[in-house]
Chain A
Amino acid sequence: MIRYLRCLPIVPLMFSAGCGGDSTAVDGPAVALLTSGPVSDAGWHAGAYEGLQMIGDSLGVHISHQQTRTPADFDEAFISYAESGYGLIFGHGFEYQDAASRAGEAYPDVTFVVSSGSRPSANVVPIIFGLHEASYLAGMAAGAITASGIVGMVGGVEIPSAKGTFIAFEAGVKAMREDATVLETFIGSWDDVSAAKEAAAAQLRQGADALIHNVDAASFGFFQAVREAREGGRMAWAFGMNRDQNDVAPDVIAGSAVINIPQIFVQTARAWQDGTLEGPLYTGLATGAVDFVPNPAQPGAVPPMVLVRIEEARRLIIEEKIDVPSIDFVEPAAGDPVAAGDPPTC
């Protein structure tokens, strides 16, 4: 028994070897994207992939995408792209921050962009999407349409950017319905479809009838749980997150809290070409980068009166008259060395 257990530590190493980078050198400006999950999630990663394609189309630069599997991969992938001549490298997720900081020191001429990153430096640029503002508006919609007064949230891993969207969502719910109960479940994975389905089903059984998620490909199971609750004779609504998911499950989605990732990525790449890119980059409702988008296929799902109040809240947030709660995870810019032994995130 022990004999083969000894071999298990090599497994993560093999995973990194399994998806080697594009290490052939490129000519001219080149932009790369790293995602830590499949881009076929019709959500967070898919948006980044679309952004990369748009950069290629509108800026005419060479592009490349790679899916990393383990934290050990993150460094490897950054280095391999930097060595091959890529000038701008996106790490799409909070989990890339530590590796990007290390790579940023090793390759001062390369710009590293970290989606939902936390530590800016001269050539490491976190983008803070401000999705919590859109999530707040989605929460208002959920608080208005819940009949039971119980609202659910199903998340992947409790990282600050994900947790922040839930805090804001909860505040939005309570703004419309003060006595609402808000349930929160994390499934410990972004892709585990059956876990997301069971987590949502457990919340539905608890009486929740308006649910939002913040997972990746696992959202397919989340939507399925809402669909099955309806087949069982209960009315319930789901909300999409990260990308306009209204067409992913048009029958059960009331609306989506959307980041326009392609638009932000293209703007970022333009600024990089012009030499004006500086971080951290804050986007939000004010820049039009995020929004709550009601599902056009379900016109009555969010009543017109509620949409009016959401519109008003949108204006107040932009005018900074509503302070949407969230988690501020951006650390002050400094040349401080990356702390050794940071816990791996993935």
Chain B
Amino acid sequence: MARRGLRTPVPDVAALSSFLVSAVGLAVPLALAALGETVSQRAGVINIGLEGSVIWGALGGALGSLAGGGYAGLLAGALAGGAAALVFAVFAVRLNTDQIITGTAVTIGSLGFTGALYQSRFGVTGVALELETLPAWELPLLSRIPVVGPALFDQALTAYLVYVMVPLLAWLLFRTRWGLALRAVGESPEAAHAAGVPVVRTRMLAAVFAGLMAGLAGAHLSLVHTGTFAENMSAGKGFIAIAVVVLGRWRPAGVLAAALFFGGAEALQFALQAFDADLPYPLFLALPYVLSLAALAGWFGRSRAPEGLALPWPRRGH
């Protein structure tokens, strides 16, 4: 067989399939955190402290798993992320401090606290923890679908949580009275208040929900994806999740698509670099953000943040 000339253009199915596996693996934590943040932003709360919830989730997951196994770790991660968000919500929602500044403070504090906790437990110079990773559940039939099957349906519990959450949240947000009330709180808290919706309570719950989801995202990082923990391992994923919400235009299905796109872009640039394609890698890393800006500018059709986003809601005479 002649082997001269260019590489065969026929895509290598095995390579494509394993590329998709890593794309989905990278997308799941973004999707989890961004789905939670979608609910929070729909209620008018932008939680920049999401990054803090992710790192708490990663450490909570690691400690929980060492104490009681993988699923205990997942639960501990979610609760740790939720607790960080509760701190944020108490200040930003109940006490009406500036959401951006409060969220940033929570993130900085979380990175510092988790680092101190990790160092006090495992030594100042660190150890490479070997955590037991959560097993993948291979769904019968679905996982046999060529190419995409293994990537989508041979995953750990966290991925299936994403698949369940997307339609569930879409239904809750857009098909129920509860969702209508939540969106009203985000669009016009005054009107919602006048209609008898408890604005503060709704916002608190939405913010804590975002923290729980971000905590799951962090637990995914330590218990599903890497099986270890390192300081700062959230590496900006909480911030990226906020960009994912924008690119997904505040809709669960859009957010899932945007998360897959970010995950795919990251996996693609690793694949390209490993293929020895001489590309300037920072350019590739920047691509998803450029697209998020384009989405913000409204180039992909109508897209609008909730009207009351990041605005304090003054509780008068109470």
A interface list, Cβ under 8 A from B: 1, 3-4, 7-8, 10-11, 14-15, 18-19, 37-42, 46, 49-50, 152, 158, 181, 183-189, 191-195, 197-199, 201-203, 205-206, 208, 217-221, 223-224, 248-249
B:42-90 near A, CB below 8 Å: 46, 48
Residue interface mask B92-115, A partner, CB < 8 A = 1: 000000111100110011001001
Is B128 touching A205 in the complex (CB atoms < 8 A)?
Answer: no
Q: Name the one of A18, A205, A248 contacting B274, with C-beta atoms under 8 angstroms.
A: A205
B170-178, B226-234, B254-262: which lies at the interface:
B226-234
Q: Say if the beta carbon of B26 comes within 8 Å of chain A.
A: yes
Residue interface mask B133-160, A partner, CB < 8 A = 1: 0000000000000000000000000000
Is A4 touching B46 in the complex (CB atoms < 8 A)?
Answer: yes
Number of B residues contacting the other chain (C-beta, 8 Å)? 57
Is B273 touching A202 in the complex (CB atoms < 8 A)?
Answer: yes
Q: Say if the beta carbon of B11 comes within 8 Å of chain A.
A: no
Is B126 touching A38 in the complex (CB atoms < 8 A)?
Answer: yes
List 10 extra interface pairs beyond A193-B226, A195-B235, A205-B274, CB under 8 A.
A1-B246, A1-B309, A3-B309, A49-B124, A183-B273, A186-B273, A191-B231, A194-B25, A199-B270, A206-B274
Q: Name the one of A50, A203, A206, A221 contacting B226, with C-beta atoms under 8 angstroms.
A: A221
Please, which residue of chain A has its CB at the minimum distance from the CB of B15? A205
- Secondary structure dominating the interface of B: helix
> Which 6 A-B pairs have CB atoms at the shortest separation, nearest pair first?
A40-B126, A46-B125, A217-B230, A38-B231, A192-B235, A18-B108
Q: Name the one of B29, B100, B233, B274 contacting A7, with C-beta atoms under 8 angstroms.
A: B100
Please, which residue of chain A has its CB at the minimum distance from the CB of B298? A1
A183-B276, A217-B233 given as contacts; is B126 within 8 A of A42 (CB)?
A: yes
CB distance from B112 to the nearest CB of A (A): 7
A145 and B11 CA atoms in complex are apart in Å by: 31
Q: Which residues of chain B come closer than 8 Å to A189, judged between CB atoms? A: 235-236
Q: Say if the beta carbon of B267 comes within 8 Å of chain A.
A: yes
Is B122 touching A193 in the complex (CB atoms < 8 A)?
Answer: no
Please, which residue of chain A has its CB at the minimum distance from the CB of B274? A202
Q: Name the one of B100, B123, B235 contacting A4, with C-beta atoms under 8 angstroms.
A: B100
A186-B281, A205-B18, A224-B228 given as contacts; is B267 within 8 A of A198 (CB)?
A: yes
A50 and B296 CA atoms in complex are apart in Å by: 47
CB distance from B206 to the nearest CB of A (A): 17
A223 and B230 CA atoms in complex are apart in Å by: 13
Please, which residue of chain B has its CB at the minimum distance from the CB of A11? B104
Is B266 touching A42 in the complex (CB atoms < 8 A)?
Answer: no
Q: Name the one of B108, B126, B235, B282 contacting A41, with C-beta atoms under 8 angstroms.
A: B126
Q: Which residues of chain A come closer than 8 Å to B126, judged between CB atoms? A: 38-42, 46, 217
CB distance from A262 to the nearest CB of B (A): 11
Please, could you name 9 A-B residue pairs with CB atoms under 8 Å apart, sorted by A?
A8-B100, A38-B119, A38-B232, A41-B230, A152-B274, A188-B282, A193-B235, A195-B270, A205-B18
A194 and B158 CA atoms in complex are apart in Å by: 16
Q: Say if the beta carbon of B127 comes within 8 Å of chain A.
A: yes
CB distance from B17 to the nearest CB of A (A): 10
A40-B118, A185-B273, A188-B281 given as contacts; is B22 within 8 A of A201 (CB)?
A: yes
CB distance from A64 to the nearest CB of B (A): 14
CB distance from B105 to the nearest CB of A (A): 7
CB distance from B216 to the nearest CB of A (A): 15
CB distance from B16 to the nearest CB of A (A): 11
Q: Say if the beta carbon of B193 comes within 8 Å of chain A.
A: no
A40-B119, A193-B233, A217-B232 given as contacts; is B273 within 8 A of A199 (CB)?
A: yes
Is A40 touching B115 in the complex (CB atoms < 8 A)?
Answer: yes
Q: Which residues of chain A come closer than 8 Å to B274, judged between CB atoms? A: 152, 183, 185, 199, 202-203, 205-206, 208
Please, which residue of chain A has its CB at the minimum distance from the CB of B285? A188
Q: Say if the beta carbon of B221 comes within 8 Å of chain A.
A: yes
Q: Which residues of chain B come closer than 8 Å to A46, judged between CB atoms? A: 124-126
Is A191 touching B296 in the complex (CB atoms < 8 A)?
Answer: no
Q: Say if the beta carbon of B129 comes within 8 Å of chain A.
A: yes
Which residue, A38, A40, A187, A248, has most C-beta atoms of chain B within 10 A? Answer: A40
A7 and B128 CA atoms in complex are apart in Å by: 37
A147 and B25 CA atoms in complex are apart in Å by: 29
Q: Which residues of chain A come closer than 8 Å to B168, judged between CB atoms? A: none
A217 and B115 CA atoms in complex are apart in Å by: 12
Q: Which residues of chain B come closer than 8 Å to A219, judged between CB atoms? A: 128
Q: Which residues of chain B come closer than 8 Å to A40, judged between CB atoms? A: 115, 118-119, 122-126, 230-231
A1-B309, A40-B126 given as contacts; is B270 within 8 A of A218 (CB)?
A: no
Q: Which residues of chain A come closer than 8 Å to B304, judged between CB atoms? A: 1
Q: Name the one of B18, B101, B230 contacting A193, with C-beta atoms under 8 angstroms.
A: B230
A183 and B275 CA atoms in complex are apart in Å by: 7
Q: Say if the beta carbon of B169 comes within 8 Å of chain A.
A: no
Q: Which residues of chain B come closer than 8 Å to A19, judged between CB atoms? A: 112
Q: Which residues of chain A come closer than 8 Å to B230, judged between CB atoms? A: 38, 40-41, 191, 193, 217-218, 220-221
Please, which residue of chain A has its CB at the minimum distance from the CB of B296? A1
Q: Which residues of chain A come closer than 8 Å to B129, judged between CB atoms? A: 220
Q: Which residues of chain B come closer than 8 Å to A8, judged between CB atoms? A: 100
Is A224 touching B227 in the complex (CB atoms < 8 A)?
Answer: yes
Which residue, A1, A223, A249, has most C-beta atoms of chain B within 10 A? Answer: A1
Is A217 touching B231 in the complex (CB atoms < 8 A)?
Answer: yes
Q: Name the one of B26, B226, B282, B309 contacting A220, with C-beta atoms under 8 angstroms.
A: B226
Please, which residue of chain B has its CB at the minimum distance from the CB of A53? B124
A187 and B48 CA atoms in complex are apart in Å by: 24
Please, which residue of chain A has its CB at the minimum distance from the CB of B129? A220
CB distance from A46 to the nearest CB of B (A): 4
A217-B231, A220-B230 given as contacts; is B125 within 8 A of A202 (CB)?
A: no
